[in-house]
Amino acid sequence: MRRDFKAALNQIIPGMHDYFKKYFNESSLDIVERLREVERLEVYTATEDNAQAGAIKTESEGIYAYPVNFMKNEHGEWKVRGF
């Protein structure tokens, strides 16, 4: 939310950094504003090393859940794998 994209990349698994850098640096996509619209995360499934959740937000057509996948790293920390 501070627009510290380097810090944001630390929350993403290393193998996906290059993929997400293009979104964090692209001026036409305001990722911060999109994240502010998320009302909550709901965890749907979780195993020892992976979890699937939904980023819940209300839009004019109704309430939507957008998928967010997490993976535990070698230090036991949960990181974003994709969304």
Q: Is residue 48 part of a domain?
A: yes
Domain that holds residue 29: 5-71
* pLDDT number for residue 40: 94
* pLDDT number for residue 5: 72
Q: Summarize pLDDT for 41-82 with one digit per residue, the tens.
A: 999 999 999 999 999 999 999 999 999 999 999 999 999 998
* pLDDT number for residue 28: 43
Q: Tell which wins on pLDDT, 76 or 8.
A: 76
pLDDT band at 3 (very low <50, low <70, confident <90, very high): low
pTM beyond 0.75: the answer is no
Number of domains observed in the structure of the chain: 1
Rounded distance between C-alpha atoms, residue 30 and residue 75, angstroms = 31
Q: Is residue 32 part of a domain?
A: yes
